Structure 1
């Protein structure tokens, strides 16, 4: 079974990545009871052979299953099914809803402070990160730059508490970013939103910076909601 050429239906079909196809196959198997709650999934080697995907692709799919609350990975033992329906995503130690709530209450005002306090060095640093993001072709490297960009905005606010908060959730931000990019195709849109944030900071406009960061987080939240809503529709089922 080669999953790399799967497509979605509709008037303008979008080519589904190998990871999405592998994820869909495994999720469908769990929801149909082929793998029941408490069961251990086959080994990575066996799944790679069955699905005809590489190990990195499979591991991304397994991470997505865990984020959706369907499985849990136990070090040295494997991946086990813990639910047969999609729950609220988790990113590292934090539930998606909790993470988004904190991001809105921290990153939006931080952008405003950064617009008022940023230095030329801060702007140069953020501009360099954004240029690298816009050129980056490796998904993992882009995610790392994404989290650095958000940390850089916090640094530009010149309040060490803000930086500490973003550092605390940085791993969760990276996990959320990877999840949204793989299942929501957000990279190009996110680059544009980051560009708007940087332009507002360069202009020194608190209002525009707050507006740009609000728009960015609104789009993140909308994409996350759409992915979860789609995931909660039984695989192969209707709306």
Structure 2
């Protein structure tokens, strides 16, 4: 293979984005949409290359009960120590930002819960080639539809909507076979110094924290692709 051909092959390989995220994180869903818009913007540029995404587990509130008795304002004020009025303002603000990227958050219907089983389901879905679809389904179920994403039976219903074997999903979640994979993601987050989500890692070397504007994501992708060309030239 000539140097030119080798450079072309290297630059055409997918850019890998590893994302640490939680199901119960409003900014993670917003960040997901903004990243998708950024990828679309980048893909429209000449010489763009494919993008590969992998999600990793991160629990913002691992001590949350599966069945929290209260609404989101009560959770933020009681569990997080945030005054109710401030919590209400926070939710109003994030709902407005979500709406700006086409997401219709419904905090009145939202069922706050522990997300470890949802993360286990994400790993199950990844093994069956449906991780990205499962992530979108879980986030929509939680923030838009008011579905419960902490109980095994409810999670199995959501998985079945994507064509996954419901009985096998129940078996997997009851056995906890993916708990180690969830904990491994969390340890890696600690090693990388990730303290909040969403957190995006491009090609294992560039970290982007938070729900940045689509243009920022597009710029990082263009930078990564450009550096590949420079290295291969």
TM-score by length of 1: 0.27
Determine which structure has the larger helix proportion and give its number: 1
Q: Does 1 or 2 have the higher relative contact order (CA < 8 Å, sep 6+)?
A: 2
Is the strand fraction higher in 1 or 2?
2
TM-score, normalized by length of structure 2?
A: 0.28
